[in-house]
Structure 1
Amino acid sequence: MPRFARLFEAAADTLNAYYQAVADNSIDSVMSLWIDEEFATCIRADGTHLHGLESIRAGLVKQFETQPVTIEPLDIRVYDSLGTVVYAIAEAHQPAEPASTPRMIFTTYVMVHERGEWRIAHIHASEMPLETAGQFAAKLRHGQGPLH
């Protein structure tokens, strides 16, 4: 029997699906990307710690209602090993309000390979200090790369 490609064969597909689900404000789509374990955790850029899938869902529902965003990855570092991929990403979080200024966020995504799919096990986001965000943006504008 032929083997068919599985959804999220690559961890990058899961990350891209996460960004799309956040942009669509689709809590069900976001939650379908998480590992099916209660040890899942999320630390939001505002410092809120969410432990377990119910807590993560409730926190993300609140976030989607009060501050919907789209996320643009600006610099991606990937660390992988057998069954685990870690993404360290500098992101611009653009609020739904077009006139709003994007927030610069450092986010780490930990993904694990579970039952043939890459799933999110942990997200840790931290807001960049304004000085760091300014330096980061200046380097991008001058083509030096963000983390030189």
Structure 2
Amino acid sequence: MPRFAHIFEAAADTLNAYYQAVAEVNIDSLMGLWIDEEFASYISADGAHLHGLDTIRAGLAVQLAATPVSIEPVDIRVYDSLGTVVYAIAEAHRPADPKVAPTMVFTTYVMVHERGEWKIAHIHASAMPNEAANQFAAKMRHGQGSLH
């Protein structure tokens, strides 16, 4: 087996660290996961376009302070090549208040392998249309996996 066969597993570690940092509202940890380049970009589910690390940091700080969430991946698709991994994920964004229903979001994460680490280069999140959100919510209520 080639030596790089397990290289993509570490990209999943970066994604899990992102989810953890979001849940903890830990902006420093969150920003440590991004590529150290000004071309980094983030399009949030509310439509805000953030370009550059300083703008992304400020936008995420405001967003997470206003609406802290934990993110549960519901359906994950992975596309990888040497040096790049793209995750297309249906996510449930669960507010801190357990009485509030989660927001369903489609998110694409683009990660690049830089200096031995997987870093986030781009995130594009879109609110899920109601029909799709209702289908995922029904599967979650019935304990079905996303592929049933």
Same fold (TM over 0.5): yes
- C-alpha separation in 1, matches of 2:133 and 2:72: 14
Aligned to 1:88: 88
> Structure 1 regions of 5+ residues with no counterpart?
1-7
Q: Measure how far apart 1:64 and its partner are.
A: 1.4
1:40 and 1:122 in contact (8 A); partners too = yes
Taking the aligned partners of 2:50 and 2:29, their CA distance within structure 1 comes to 18
Number of residue pairs matched by the alignment:
140
Deviation larger for 42-51 or 129-138 = 129-138
Distance between the aligned counterparts of 2:30 and 2:84, measured in 1?
19
Matched, 1:114 2:114: yes
For residues 1-148 of structure 1, what are the structure 2 equivalents within 5 Å?
10-139=10-139, 141=142, 143=144, 145-146=145-146
Q: Greater helix share, 1 or 2? A: 2
Query: Over aligned residue pairs, what C-alpha RMSD do you find?
Result: 1.7
Query: Structure 1: which 4+ aligned runs deviate by more than 6 Å?
Result: none
For residue 97 of structure 1, give the secondary structure of its aligned residue in structure 2.
Answer: coil
| Deviation readout 1:10-68 (Å, 9 max, x if unpaired) | 10000000000000000000000000000000000000000000010000010111001
User: How has the CA–CA distance of structure 1 residues 85 and 137 changed in structure 2, closer, same or farther, with 3 Å as cutoff?
Assistant: same
Residue aligned with 1:104, SS? strand
**Structure 2: which 5+ runs fail to align?**
1-7
* Structure-1 separation of matches of 2:107 and 2:97: 22
Q: Percent identity?
A: 74
Contact 1:9 1:116 in 2 (8 A): no
C-alpha displacement of 1:147:
5.7
SS in 1 for 2:45: coil
